[in-house]
Structures are given as structure tokens and as C-alpha cells.
């Protein structure tokens, strides 16, 4: 039985709501991508650094790597990915032309999406129709007009019936509104680079909230998990009928950053509880948290508090910021991370970390694991800073 379902919410369009009671830490959706494409900057290295099908890191000189026989633009981490990949010769030809062009990397990334999207017309028409059903207007903006001649040239030999500027503009809007960034591994704290982007037919229905009740995980380089899948995990208990929301960016972005991004990329101004409180701070000339982290999430909810917390210390949040407890509990304590800590169900602890493990929360960005004792210590330190 599905744990979430898509419904129409007045004034908000389609949204995901809980279909059954959801427990804190429960994985409520696991989904493979409808379409995945490598970021142009990540693809600009002399040899492919990530699998073109699942975006897993390709270890240098690994015998398991399978290069594309037709181009130097793609390689695969396994024979399974090589077999499943939709990478026919006409896609190779388009990618070779794109690599030799002088167009900027941002535009190259968008053209890589368009190549993958138009290829769906030929390889999987039903998936292309799912892509067209995603949120996103059919506005033909100046960037669509700029990119359309390039994509026309790149796919001119393909047996396509419709490569119009209207369709190109609509596809770019689908990508802009629905794509999830898959981050590349980094050994430098605070540096976030994108390896690939993925679009998911179900996960795209999760709306945004600045105090989300769920967050996304992916385990791209974990050999024991379906690495191309997205996992949505509950931050606290969610009752049936309540909307399930993600944050489209790190939860410690400040009000101005959040509003600018939401208005620019998604066309709305958030009026959730957190934004209302921080807007009052701005009116009073007070500050709030800030970060320069790169995007991790994409995607307004009736946010519920941390019902599962039983500790007496959790009853008193800062008077000037009633949501302070959310950040003490759910903001990753690792320096320069900006990730979200989500609970892990006990059975998942045993399966993933071994019996006897006392870790109870996991960061969706850096993978840091925290015990309940460590959380209580963080809480005491936060209270000490406030006194």
C-alpha cells in the first residue's frame, strides 16, 4: 500500500499527502529517476567521472568501468548500467557536437537535459508523456529562444516530428521546476558541486516548506543500495491527510535567500510559519541564520512539531524563535554541511549499521550519524549559548 498520495490542494496545486500514519524515520517513498543527465561541468573532465546511467562515481582504472563504444562522453559503472542506459549512437553524436561547441557550461547542462528529454520521445514515449505531465508552464522565455537553435542542430538527424521552440520552452520549465541535484563527493568542507540532475515522476509532487516534515536521501555511491533511487524519509510522525513537504534548499538559508530562490525559480513567495516569524524579525531589525551552501533539495505544509520527542528539555524553545528546536534537532552539526538530520527507524539501524548500534539520526548530506546522547549534549550546549 502506498504511504503517500497525490491530491489537489486549494491554491497550491497538486501535492503529496500521507495516505497512512507515517512514523518518524520511515522511508515513505523510494523511486528511480524518470530521466537522469550528467552536469556539463562534471562531464568536462578528460575521461568520464560518473556513470552516465546512474551517476555513480567511476573509480579511475577500475576494470568494471565500461566505456561507451561510440563516444568519449559516456562510461558506465557496470554491465547492468550499460545495458539499461538509453545511450544510442544518435545521442553520442549529439554529445560530441555539444562538447566541441563554445557555448557556456550552464547552457551545455541545459542542452544535455534537452538531448535526454528528446531522446525519450524515441526510446520511451510513455516516459516522455510523464515528463510533460510534470509541473511547469509553457512559457517561452529568452533563454529557451537562445537554446532552441542549438538543440535543433544537435538533433536534426533524429526521426523526431516536433522540435519546436514551444516544446523546448516547456521542457526547460519542467526541468527547472522538478529536477533534483545529485551532489558530487567532496573532500573540501563547505564545497558542494553537482554531478548530475534527476527527474522523478512521483517525488516531483512534494511541495516546499521552510520547516519540512520530510527530507530526501540518495546513496549514489553506496554499493549496497539502488544508487540511482531517491528516498524520502519522515522527520517526525505524520498523520494521514497531512501534506508531506521537503525543503528545496538547505534548511539554514536565511529569509532573503529563501524568498529570492522560491520567487525566481518557482514563482511563489512562501508564507509558512517560519517565514512569518523571520519577516517580523526583519521588521524589527533583527538577524537570522545564514549560509552559502549550494542547492541540494528541490521540489508549504501544515508543519507539525516534533511529536516524537519525550525529553523534558525539548519543551522549551527560544521565545524569540519558536522553531529553534527544529534546528537543534535537524540541522547537521558538522561544520559547513547544512544537511538535514533525519531519524532512523530501529529496524533500519540493525539492518544498516549492525546490532547494538545506538545511532539514531543520519544526515542526508554528509552521512553523519548521531546518537540520542549526542543530540542531548548539543541541546545543552545550545541552551548554554542562550543564557
pLDDT, tens digit, for every residue of 50-79?
999 999 999 887 788 999 988 888 999 999
Mean pLDDT of 240-250: 95
Lowest mean pLDDT: which of 63-67, 97-101, 340-344, 345-349? 345-349
**pTM for the model:** 0.84
Q: Tell me the sheet residues that pair with 245.
A: 207
**pLDDT band for position 337 (50/70/90)?**
confident
Tallying the residues shown for the chain, one arrives at 387
Alpha carbon 293 to its chain centroid, in Å, reads 14
- E-strand ranges in the chain read 4-9, 13-18, 27-31, 35-38, 66-67, 75-76, 180-183, 194-199, 207-208, 214-217, 230-234, 245-246, 341-343, 359-363, 369-371
Q: With CA atoms as reference, report the closest residue to 44 among 72, 83, 64, 22.
A: 72
Mean pLDDT of 231-257: 94
For the chain, state the CA radius of gyration: 22
**pLDDT band for position 156 (50/70/90)?**
very high
Examine the pLDDT at 286 and tell me if it is beyond 90. no
Max avg pLDDT among 50-64, 194-208, 299-313, 321-335: 194-208
CA gap 117, 124 in Å, rounded: 10
Q: With CA atoms as reference, report the closest residue to 23 among 213, 207, 174.
A: 213
Q: Tell me the sheet residues that pair with 76.
A: 66
Q: Cα–Cα distances in Å, from 202 out to 43, 124, 198, 234?
A: 27, 17, 12, 16
CA gap 185, 193 in Å, rounded: 8
Block residue for cell numbers 509558512? 272
CA gap 370, 25 in Å, rounded: 14
When comparing pLDDT for 72 and 318, which is higher?
72
CA gap 276, 297 in Å, rounded: 22
When comparing pLDDT for 263 and 118, which is higher?
118
Examine the pLDDT at 46 and tell me if it is beyond 70. yes
Per-residue pLDDT at 182: 93
Per-residue pLDDT at 215: 97
Alpha helices (runs of H) in 38-139, residue ranges in sequence order: 40-43, 79-84, 89-100, 105-123, 125-132
Collect all residues with Cβ–Cβ distance below 8 Å to 361 and sequence separation of at least 6.
Answer: 341, 342, 343, 344, 369, 370, 375
**pLDDT band for position 89 (50/70/90)?**
very high
Domains and CATH numbers, the chain: 4-31+200-386 (2.170.270.10), 35-181 (no CATH)
For 363, phi then psi, to 5°, come to -85, 135
73, 122 Cβ separation under 8 angstroms: no
Per-residue pLDDT at 136: 86
Lowest mean pLDDT: which of 142-156, 258-272, 314-328? 314-328
13-18 and 4-9 beta bridge pairing: antiparallel
Q: Cα–Cα distances in Å, from 63 out to 50, 52, 66, 67, 79?
A: 15, 17, 8, 11, 11
Percent of residues, the chain, with pLDDT higher than 90: 57
CA gap 191, 184 in Å, rounded: 10
Amino acid at each position: 500500500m502506498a504511504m503517500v498520495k497525490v491530491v489537489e490542494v486549494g491554491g497550491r496545486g497538486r501535492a503529496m499527502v500521507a495516505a497512512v500514519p507515517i512514523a518518524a524515520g520511515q522511508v515513505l517513498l523510494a523511486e528511480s529517476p524518470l530521466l537522469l543527465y550528467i552536469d556539463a561541468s562534471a562531464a568536462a573532465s578528460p575521461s568520464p567521472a560518473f556513470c552516465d546511467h546512474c551517476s555513480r562515481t567511476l573509480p579511475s582504472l577500475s576494470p568494471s568501468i565500461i566505456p561507451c563504444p561510440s563516444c568519449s562522453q559516456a562510461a558506465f559503472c557496470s554491465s547492468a548500467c550499460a545495458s539499461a542506459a538509453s545511450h544510442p549512437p544518435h545521442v553520442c553524436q549529439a554529445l560530441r557536437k555539444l562538447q566541441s561547441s563554445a557555448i557556456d557550461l550552464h547552457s551545455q547542462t541545459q542542452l544535455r537535459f534537452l538531448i535526454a528529454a528528446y531522446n525519450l520521445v524515441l526510446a520511451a514515449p510513455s516516459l516522455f508523456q510523464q515528463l510533460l505531465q510534470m509541473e511547469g508552464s509553457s512559457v517561452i522565455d529568452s533563454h529557451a529562444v537562445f537554446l532552441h537553435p542549438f538543440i535543433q542542430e544537435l538533433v536534426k538527424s533524429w526521426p523526431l516530428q516536433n522540435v519546436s521552440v514551444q516544446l523546448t520552452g516547456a521542457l526547460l520549465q519542467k526541468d527547472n521546476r522538478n529536477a533534483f541535484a545529485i551532489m558530487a563527493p567532496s573532500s573540501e568542507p563547505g564545497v558542494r558541486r553537482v554531478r548530475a540532475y534527476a527527474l522523478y515522476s512521483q517525488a516531483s509532487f512534494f511541495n516546499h516548506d521552510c520547516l519540512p516534515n520530510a527530507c530526501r536521501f540518495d546513496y549514489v555511491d553506496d554499493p549496497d543500495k539502488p544508487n540511482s533511487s531517491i528516498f524520502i524519509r519522515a522527520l517526525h510522525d505524520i498523520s494521514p491527510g497531512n501534506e508531506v513537504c521537503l525543503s528545496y534548499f538547505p534548511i539554514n538559508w536565511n529569509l532573503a535567500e529563501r524568498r529570492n530562490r522560491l520567487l525566481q525559480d518557482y514563482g511563489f513567495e512562501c508564507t509558512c510559519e517560519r517565514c512569518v516569524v523571520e519577516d517580523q524579525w526583519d521588521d524589527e531589525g533583527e538577524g537570522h541564520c545564514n549560509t552559502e551552501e549550494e542547492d541540494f533539495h528541490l521540489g508549504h505544509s501544515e508543519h507539525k512539531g516534533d511529536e516524537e520527542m519525550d525529553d523534558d528539555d525539548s519543551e522549551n524553545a527560544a521565545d524569540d524563535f519558536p522553531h529553534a528546536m527544529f534546528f537543534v534537532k535537524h540541522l547537521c552539526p558538522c561544520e559547513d554541511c547544512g544537511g538535514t538530520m533525519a531519524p532512523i527507524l530501529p529496524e533500519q539501524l540493525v539492518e544498516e549499521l549492525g546490532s547494538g548500534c545506538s545511532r539514531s539520526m543520519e544526515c542526508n548530506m554528509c552521512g553523519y550519524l548521531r546518537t540520542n546522547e549526542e543530540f542531548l549534549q548539543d541541546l545543552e550546549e545550545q541552551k548554554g549559548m542562550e543564557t
